[in-house]
Amino acid sequence: MREDSATEIEASVPDPDWLYDHRYQWAQEMALSGECVVGVVGADVPRELVLAAGGYPVRLHGDPHIPQGPGSAVALHTRAAQLLGAVDEPAVLLLARILSGELNFLTGIVISREREASLRLYYVLRELAQRTSGLPPVHLIDLLHLPRPATAAYNRAQVRRLVNVLPRWTGQSPDATTVTTAVRQCAAVRDQLHRAQQARIDRKISGIEALRLFAAAETLEPAVAQEIINTRIDDSQTRCAHAAPGLFLSGSPHEADTVYAAIEDSGWQVVGEDHDRGLLALTIDVHPAPDGDFDGQLAALAAAYGRRGPEATTASALERSRWAAATVRRTQARAVLSYVRRHDEAPLWDFPHLRAIAQAEGVPAVLLRDQGPGPDPVQLQQTLDALSASQTLEAQL
């Protein structure tokens, strides 16, 4: 990021609640200010490399609201669905936004392939780029998540390929100094998010607030993200902790806050989750190489993103259930809800293990499956009522 642009933006730090609903607007304003804004799809994309190449990484998301572009919102959604086939709905919504022309300000899009929907999105965009002018170029990074030397070598090669692509978009090649700086900046943001998570456990901030702070970290330049997170944590110290029972949210990742809002409106608080737009983002831990060791820095990034998780599409059900159990204990959650969208089948395989290990922790676990881009309000409320009834029964006993 250029220093003059950073100064301008820091002078008008956005409110995280406003930013959550206007992430693309903020990114477009950054592009208009002269930044090379790079869209990121998936959790396996090292945003440190985009920063080191002089780019501005913004995590893209699917949103039910599709602005009017060349064709109606319904027609765009229909075309996106036809191109992608039966995939998780957020990928369809994201492709519809891209087809609308709203994201043409992006310098490029980096997609990681940990999810089938993301891989299909890459192939569709690559094909469309050959026939349609104006679409941003795309690049796929394919990191594996296995503890093997061959996997480590493969991941290093994938990271090196991204390093070779980014300068074509930004005009700047990463080097040992810029990568080191970016690694430290992103680590500092994650440190602040750890503080935010503790504030959530202490009931100083809500689950929705935490989700929006994670989104801010995916959208903003690191220094600005740190300022926003610090401000929200500082403000939270003046609040009185409330006694809402904690709920651990498993299943599909959440690109909007509607499910969090419904849960917390029903008297629960989301104190943890196992998706990469929440707590799993904090499992990335880069062990820096010595200063000046460029290859070592790239290897450290490849290793850190390769061992992040555990996510439903990249880890075993046993690994995920154990991680969930540890988080339930740490957050003192009183129930587990697995919320799963249509065409996102991986979390369904996890649920039997998740339920068993939750029961071993003494908390109920329920599954709500086949949900659309937004929750079915009746089904969700019935599920939450059942969890509340179990809490009442436990208190009576």
Q: What is the pLDDT of residues 56-111, one digit of tens each?
A: 999 999 876 655 455 578 889 999 999 999 999 999 999 999 999 999 999 999 99
Provide the CB-side half-sphere exposure for 238 (13 A, CA): 4
**Going from the N-terminus, what domains does the chain have, and what CATH number goes with each?**
3-171 (3.40.50.11890)
Q: What pLDDT does residue 9 have? A: 45
Cβ atoms of 247 and 334 within 8 Å: the answer is yes
pLDDT at residue 131 greater than cutoff 80? yes
DSSP H helices, the chain, are 3-10, 16-21, 23-32, 47-52, 73-84, 89-99, 116-131, 149-170, 176-201, 207-219, 222-236, 258-265, 294-306, 317-331, 346-360, 377-396
Residue 129 is encoded by which pair of tokens?
């780029």
In a 3-state reduction of DSSP, which class is residue 54?
A: coil
- Shortest CA distance to 298 belongs to which of 306, 315, 108? 306
Query: Nearest-CA neighbor of 49 among 130, 112, 121, 127?
Result: 112
Residue found by looking up tokens 């089904």 in the block: 379
pLDDT in tens, 135-179: 999 999 999 999 999 999 999 999 999 999 999 999 999 999 999
- What's the CA dihedral at 355, 359, 362, 364 to 10 degrees? 40
Quote the DSSP letter at residue 107. S
Q: How far is CA 255 from CA 52, 163, 211, in A?
A: 26, 27, 9
Q: What is the pLDDT of residue 241?
A: 67
Mean pLDDT computed over 231-249: 85
Q: Quick one: average pLDDT of 379-386?
A: 92
Contact 209, 296 (CB under 8 A): no
364 band by pLDDT with thresholds 50, 70 and 90: very high
d(CA 121, CA 31): 23
pTM for the model stands at: 0.93
**Can you tell me whether residue 128 is helix, strand or coil?**
helix
Gap between the Cα atoms of 165 and 348, Å rounded: 36
Helix (H) or strand (E) holding 283: none
